[in-house]
Amino acid sequence: MKQRSELEQSLFDKETIISQFDNKPTRKQYHHVNKEEAQDLEDNTHTTFMIKPNIPKLSDPNQFNEWKVEIESILETNIYHKEILRKAILNAISGKPRKVLTTLRPTATSEESVHTLESNYGDIKCGGKLIKEYYNAQQEKDEDISAWGIRLQEIIQKAINRGEIQACRKERMLKTRF
């Protein structure tokens, strides 16, 4: 959650800076005989800001699922240039996960990289086994109630992601366990 709030604050700061630039339009001079052509060029010209995203590091395969959630949320925003985001994601991966990516071609997309890591470090249980795990889950002796609740929510979310249950059933299922 701390990383998420830091990311949101960073995005807010960067959007503020970009909006300041947008309020100060720059006029380019074109020396064309055809004024309509010059106007079309001016209308289609804009400044693209290439901001490096703040990507969480991944070196421990046990942290893959948490890392993946962050990466997917960044990919969904579409605020970063794809090539800069792809390179930032690759630079954030080290250790064993980095070795897995050597099997990809150099031009692999961010989505392909995440998919490859998912196939190696993601949870491979089928939806039915996840539902069974959810209903058989017990609170551990040294596990507080919030940690147990989070563990149950993670199991349900995996089942939703695999299409085993509908997202609208999540709250109802959690209420049956608490």
Q: pLDDT per residue over 104-162, tens digit each? A: 998 899 999 999 998 888 776 777 788 888 888 888 889 888 898 888 888 888 888 77
Tell me the whole-structure pTM to 2 decimals.
0.54
> Tell me, what's the pLDDT at 112?
92
Residue type at position 104: L
Backbone angles phi, psi at 68, to 5 degrees: -60, -40
Q: Quick check: 134 and 151 in contact, CB under 8 A?
A: no
| pLDDT cut 90: percent of the chain above it | 12
> Tell me, what's the pLDDT at 22?
53
- 3 vs 86, more confident: 86
Residue 71, Cβ density class (10 Å: 0-12 exposed, 13-18 middle, ≥19 buried): buried
CA distance 178 to 168: 17
> Tell me, what's the pLDDT at 119?
84
Rg (CA), the chain: 23
Range from 29-38, 46-55, 109-118 carrying the lowest mean pLDDT: 29-38
Q: How many CB atoms lie within 10 A of CB 148?
A: 16
